[in-house]
Every structure is written in structure tokens, then in C-alpha cells.
Amino acid sequence: MDFDWLFFTEVTLAGLGNSALLSLTGLAFVLIYKATRVVNLAIGEMLMIGAYLFFSFTAGMGLPPYAAIVLAILGGALLGAAIERAVIRPMLGEAAISVFMVTIGVGSVLIGLAEIIWGAEPTALPDFMGKTPIFIGDAYVSRKVVIGFTVSAVVIALFLLAFRFWRGGVALRATASDQAAAYSCGINVPAVFSVAWMFAGAAAAGAGILVGAVGGIAPTMGVFGLSALVVVIVGGLDSIAGALIGGILVGLLEAWCGTYLGGEYKMLATFGLLMLVLMVRPYGLFGTVEIERL
């Protein structure tokens, strides 16, 4: 039987679309972990709030989609800042597990707030990406997938450049590698924490809009954040490039397994990859290897 290369190409392109969503959400995890060493399990819920903000600005207030996107991303950034200032900063110095548990609590509060404000029913976002299908050669690819992939790739590239060349990005890297040294160099560490949470909130809101455009929105859509957690553990919790590569790996693996083995093997393949990476490289493919001396 001849192998259907066109079908394989279409599946691969669709897989790359899913990769992009995973990578962008993974980026939000990484930004916070890199700066503050907090594994924020409320990222999925921050993503959900971003999607609902977009929904309110478009469907509720009738704003044009591009204005709504900007406002939702700003709202996501504000939410990130508020959580950091009100909940996370008072926990500074506490055990990592305590902060981790607090983020789970924040997630529950955000779900409750969404149910109170917008209701518990799932709903669809207004279509703002158009409906014309895109063909790359003969291969069909969904318009939403192309847009999602492009946006995610651009955002991740911008963050990579910012961390490399922007003064604030360098301050964030310095804080991540040694907080005390960063303080002594005059870096305003609490401000760096706030900025990291704001950027993560903005990235999560952007990802929420894209995820919501594809899969609809509901107060429980934050569960998508857990898929992205797998991505960042595979890629390395403190590596932006790791989030990108991890997202691509997981997205493609899921697409190929789901197509050729069946949808029931997707999770098996994803978590199989996670186990393999953790056994071979416990800090993830691109994570910083921390040497602890006793």
C-alpha cells in the first residue's frame, strides 16, 4: 500500500498548529518559573480569564476584535500583576510546596469568579479569524491553525530576543540565576517578579484567545494548562526555547499517534515521552542542570 504523503503532510501541519498553542501556554509557565521559581498551576485559569475578557469585549461590548485582543492581553497582564502582588509576594520565603498549593487555590478562585461573572455554560468565541481555508501546496490546513502558529512563533521569538538583548530581560535572567546577587547589583527584584507575572499573564491571555477560538470557552478550559505543563517539563521549566521545542515535540507526537494509532493513544504517547525525558534528562531537554552540593 502506498503511503499517503499528502495526508501525512496535512496531519503534520495540523500537529504544528497544536504545538503552537502548547508552546505559547508553556511560555507563560516558563516566564514565571524562570524569574520566581514558582510552578504556577493557575496558568490554565489565567488563560481562561483572558479568553473570557476577549469574549466580553467582543460579544458583550461590541468592540472590534483587534481592540478586544489588545484589551484582553492588557487585562491578562493586570491579572498576573494582581495575583503576584496580592498572593504570591506575601509567600516569598515560604516552602516551594506552599506556594505551589497557593497557585492551585488561585486557580479554583478564578474558576469560581468566571462562573459567577460569565456563567458555567460553555460557549463559542465570535469568529474573528475568517473562514477561507488555506492550502500549502495541495495540503489543507485550517486557517485558525495557521494564525495560531504564526502568532505563537512571533511571540516566542520576541520573548527570546527580549531575554537576550532587552535590559529588563537581562535583569530577569540575573534574578533567576541568583536573587541575592541581583539585589546587590541594584536590580529591583520585586519589580522583576511583577514584570514576569505580567508578561506571563499577557502570554496566557493571548494563548487563551487562540485556544478559545479553536475549542470554545468554558470556566473549565484551564485544564489545557496541564497539557502545557507536560510541554515545559519536557522542554525544561526555565527554558523559553525548551517550551518551543517541547511544544513542537508533543504537538507532532500527538498528531501522528492520534492519526495512525488512534486518539486513545495520544495521552499515552505524551506521558510516555514525559517519562522518557525525565529518566534521561530530569531537568528537561533544555532546562538548567542545578548542581546541589551538600
Partner 1 sequence: MDMNRRQALSLALGAGAAIGLGIRPSQAADDIVIGGSIPLSGVFAFAGIGIHAGIQDYVKIINDGGGIAGRKVTYLAEDTAYKTDQSVAVFNKLTSQADIHLYYSDSTAFAKTINAELDRRKSILMAGASFASELNDPKKYPFQFIAGPDYTQMFDILLQYVAKTKPGAKIAFVHSDTEFGRDPIAAGQAQVKALGLKMTETIVTPPSAVDVSTEILKLRRANPDFTIFHGYVLAPLPEFMSQAKQMGLATKFMGTFWSMDNSLWTKVGEPADGFMGVMPYRYYYDTEGKSPMLEKIRQMRPDYQSTAYMQGFLTAMLFLESAKRTLAAGKTLTAENLKAALNSLKDFDTGGLIGVPISIPGNSVPVGRVYRYDAAKKLMVADSDWIKVGG
List residues near partner 1 by CB under 8 A.
Answer: 7, 10-11, 14-15, 17-18, 21, 111-112, 115, 119-124, 127, 131-133, 140-145, 211, 214-216, 218-221, 223-224, 226-227, 254-255, 258-259, 262-264, 266-267
Give the CA distances from residue 220 to residues 45, 57, 127, 139, in Å, rounded to whole numbers and listed in that order. Answer: 8, 20, 21, 33
Contact predicate 144/214, CB 8 Å: yes
**95 vs 81: CA distance, rounded Å:** 21
The whole-angstrom separation of Cα 236 and Cα 216 is 29
Complex with partner 1: residue 34 or 144, whichever CB lies closer: 144
- Which residue's CB is nearer to partner 1, number 90 or number 263? 263
Q: Nearer Cβ to partner 1, position 244 or 255?
A: 255
3-state secondary structure of 139: strand
Nearer to partner 1, 99 or 114 (CB): 114
User: How many angstroms separate the CA atoms of 199 and 190, rounded?
Assistant: 14
Q: Minimum Å distance from CB 21 to partner 1?
A: 6
Q: Which is nearer to partner 1, 21 or 243 (CB)?
A: 21
Cα–Cα distance between 288 and 285 in angstroms, integer?
9
Q: CB of residue 94 vs partner 1: minimum separation in angstroms?
A: 27
CB of 76 to partner 1, least distance (A): 18
Shortest Cβ distance from residue 115 to partner 1 (Å)?
Answer: 6
CB of 26 to partner 1, least distance (A): 14
Beta bridge partners of residue 217, listed in sequence order: 123
Amino acid at 11: V
